[in-house]
Amino acid sequence: MTISTVDILAILGVILFGIPHGALDWELVKHSDRNPRLIRFLCFYLGSAGIGLALWITFPTATLLFFLLITAIHFGRSDPFRLNPTAAPTFFLKTANVLFQGGTIAVFLPWVHWFTIEPLFDALNANTDAIAATGYPALIAWLLALIFTVSESASLRKISLLIGLAGYYALHNYLNPLFAFALFFCLLHSAPHYLKASEHLGTSATRPKKSFWVNTVCAWIMVLLAAAFFDTFADAVAPLLSALFAILFALTLPHMIIVDILLPKHFLAWRITA
């Protein structure tokens, strides 16, 4: 398997512009905790990330499947297509809205590009046969979520989104899945999340606090260290790719606990249910 120039640009885009969106997590914790303790936060964050890395290395197939699942939940909760799951009348329809939006990147994209994605998953040491076996049930669940979301209340935005997905499918042979993932992750998830967090904290998005830069640089160093680690294996065809997704998974675990569990308990703006 070879990594193209477009793949490299996509990976660098996620590292430079995607990963930093979680660098405000400490500020968000401080904002929600009356007695924040940095040591406790670091132990929680680094401990969770360490467990994530250990799982990624030890159980790559199960961990990748779990990563795709939590990606669908986390990305969907961020409302990337602005379909407003909060406005859905029932918890079931709210959940369908979230899974449809997040499943677009976690289910639809891998399914459409499977013959291109399969070597990438194989480079991550995952059992692609096992992942493929889950593909059709996941696709059916995503399609049902799509149907429930669209039928709940048709709108021009939803119709435009369906046309866009159909167009993407029609042109997928000419498109790069890693580049598509990078665009989705950076533009539809990371950037809105960063802006929402900045607004919530009452800080300037163009002048974040020093902790943002410290955390960002630390995350970049983690990617480089992980790349050096994976480069020691003879079968690691793409150590940078392995490092990127290993660190993404590791950092997603504590990030999700903060953004999708802790903050919704304290602030209505972070909830999808009233």
Q: Which helix (H) or strand (E) holds 2?
A: none
- Is residue 26 within 8 A of residue 211, CB to CB? The reply is yes
Q: Is 255 within any annotated ligand binding site?
A: no
Q: Is 266 within any annotated ligand binding site?
A: no
Q: Is 172 within any annotated ligand binding site?
A: no
- Rounded Cα distance between 178 and 183, Å, is 9
- Rounded Cα distance between 32 and 181, Å, is 31
Per-residue H/E/C for 161-182: HHHHHHHHHHHHHHCCHHHHHH
Q: Is 74 within any annotated ligand binding site?
A: yes
Q: Sign of the CA dihedral 102, 201, 268, 258?
A: positive
Pseudo-torsion of CA 139, 176, 241, 21, nearest 10°? -80
- Is residue 55 within 8 A of residue 63, CB to CB? The reply is yes
| Bind-site residues | 21, 74, 189, 193
| Bind-site residues for Fe cation | 21, 74, 189, 193
